[in-house]
Structure 1
Amino acid sequence: MNNLNAIYDLILIELRKLSLNENFYFKPVKPKLSDLELIAINISAEYLSIDSEHQLFRYIANSKLNGMIERSVYNRRKRKLFEPMEKVRKLMVAKFNDIENTYIVDSMPLEICKNARANRSKICKESEYSFPSKGFCASQSSYYYGYKLHAVCSVSGVFQSFDISTASVHDIHFMQDIKYQMSNCTLIGDRGYLQEE
């Protein structure tokens, strides 16, 4: 027996307190689940550490949500709801981090292929501004080809923001972007973020 029902209900109550809308875009046929309810399912799955859609729908089959949404419809609607989900995430983060004034910043490599294949790789080369590049990972003392994930997290474990840059962007340059997003707080980072300013 899973506790998806209880978690879903709690999350939906909190989402309704944060959001003004139940639906974020027009649908010609009214679905059984509103957009906000679909977002609540998604957050409930994250909370339960369900990383497989197959596993999620096994949980749904044993809950009150059984028969409310098909897997293909869930996928299609979830993709369309990316921007509203990001807005809801920011509202939740603002509520959780309301009294926080200390944050941790760090980065990690996102390797898309081995260095030997870097020159032949066609991954993510549709637009010139998003081309991957070669970078150095100090913790692994090795070069890699791809991107770098930057994240800012509160000391209580709630992610404030995250961003992806090419691998060649140094952590100091990412700090320039953060200083416009955050103020009156303490940022803790490793040596890569040290600079005079």
Structure 2
Amino acid sequence: MINQTKALKLVKIYSVICERFEKDLKYTCERFSNNDKQDLTDQEIMTIYLFSVEEEQRFSVKQIHKYACDWLLDWFPRLGSYSAFSNRLNRLSEAFKDLVTDLIAIHYPEDCFPNQSLLDSMPIVTCSGKRSGKVAKDITDKGYCSTKSMYYYGVKLHALAFRRENKIPFPEEIQITSASVNDLTVFKEVWSTKENRYFFGDKIYMNKEFFSEFEKEKNSVMMTPVKAVKGECQEIRNRDKAFNDLYSTAVSRIRQPIESFFNWLIQKTDIQRASKVRSTKGLLVHLFGKIAVAFINLIF
């Protein structure tokens, strides 16, 4: 039995899930069989997952199921076995994905700067680069994380976020790609249609030719720290050093909160470690379920 404060949180989460299910989530996991009526509903499964991760910091599916068996059976008496719970949860990967999209759209803060966006990505690790990745091969591969100086198998989580004054930025869009996909490639394919915008990114987005055309066509500017030009003479480097250092520092300070957003996401959900995932749908639940948990945390 959980205390009254936690019970109230559980009811609130269940209410949010039921509301979203009635509007659109039910179409992502609709069953066309005689077994379409389940003792434990999809809404209840999503509620158990979100509540256990957000309130109790139970990050793996096995931990979530054990916690529900120990403390939530009064609320969900037809919980069932771990195997059945895990299989049912994996069927809801698209529902979690759509839930994240809904929560981003509904809870857009008023203090966002709509013309200023921060960009970055972070690795989601299914296994070390020293081993051969065998999980979710259709969406994962081997990549390199320069920040952590490591090779890994997994995917990348790319975030485009609105800047907020002295606060963690609010995500406008989130993309999942294989680990080897370059951040600049994602920008060109997904976000290069944004108009009248200032983008703040790291040095991976340095491409003068592309962004010169981008500025002319979309009236949008990409700002990154200054990257040293290969083969440039030392005299020119010394002459421009003061300006380049000041400019790079200013850009880095503006885009630093996107790193704080990722750190906050990792702290609240442990999203970066996906070593216990065993399937593509399981990985998608891990990703979008944990992101949904983060937004539930912001709501309440």
TM over 0.5: yes
Counterpart amino acid of residue 75 in structure 2: L
Relative to 1, partners in 2 of residues 1:157 and 1:123: Cα closer, same or farther, differing over 3 Å? same
2:50 is aligned with 1:50: no
2:117 is aligned with 1:74: no
Higher relative contact order (CA 8 A, sep 6+): 2
- Asked if the contact 1:124–1:132 (Cα under 8 Å) also holds between the matched residues in 2, the reply is no
Structure 1 residue corresponding to 2:103, chosen from 82, 89, 92:
92
Aligned positions of 1:107-122 closer than 5 A: 107-109=121-123, 110=125, 112-114=127-129, 121=132
Counterpart amino acid of residue 105 in structure 2: A
Structure number with greater Rg is: 2
Percent identity between matched residues is 17
Counterpart amino acid of residue 84 in structure 1: A
Give the distance between the partners of 1:68 and 1:181, measured in 2 at CA. 48
- Asked if the contact 1:12–1:36 (Cα under 8 Å) also holds between the matched residues in 2, the reply is yes
Question: Which one has a larger percent helix, Structure 1 or Structure 2?
Answer: 2
Q: TM-score, normalised by structure 2?
A: 0.51
- Asked if the contact 2:122–2:156 (Cα under 8 Å) also holds between the matched residues in 1, the reply is yes
2:182 is aligned with 1:174: no
Counterpart amino acid of residue 56 in structure 1: I
Structure 2 residue corresponding to 1:65, chosen from 58, 70, 75:
75
Gap runs ≥5 in structure 1: none
Equivalenced residue count is 188
Aligned positions of 1:1-197 closer than 5 A: 1=2, 3-20=5-22, 23=26, 24-26=29-31, 28=35, 30-48=37-55, 49-60=57-68, 61-63=70-72, 64-70=74-80, 71-97=82-108, 99=110, 100=112, 101=114, 102-109=116-123, 110=125, 112-114=127-129, 121=132, 123=134, 132-133=141-142, 135=144, 137-140=145-148, 142=149, 144=151, 146-152=153-159, 154=161, 156=168, 159=171, 160-167=173-180, 169-179=181-191, 186-196=198-208, 197=211
Gap runs ≥5 in structure 2: 212-300
Give the distance between the partners of 1:79 and 1:58, measured in 2 at CA. 17
SS of 2:22's equivalent in the other structure is: coil
Give the distance between the partners of 1:114 and 1:144, measured in 2 at CA. 5
Give the distance between the partners of 1:42 and 1:184, measured in 2 at CA. 39
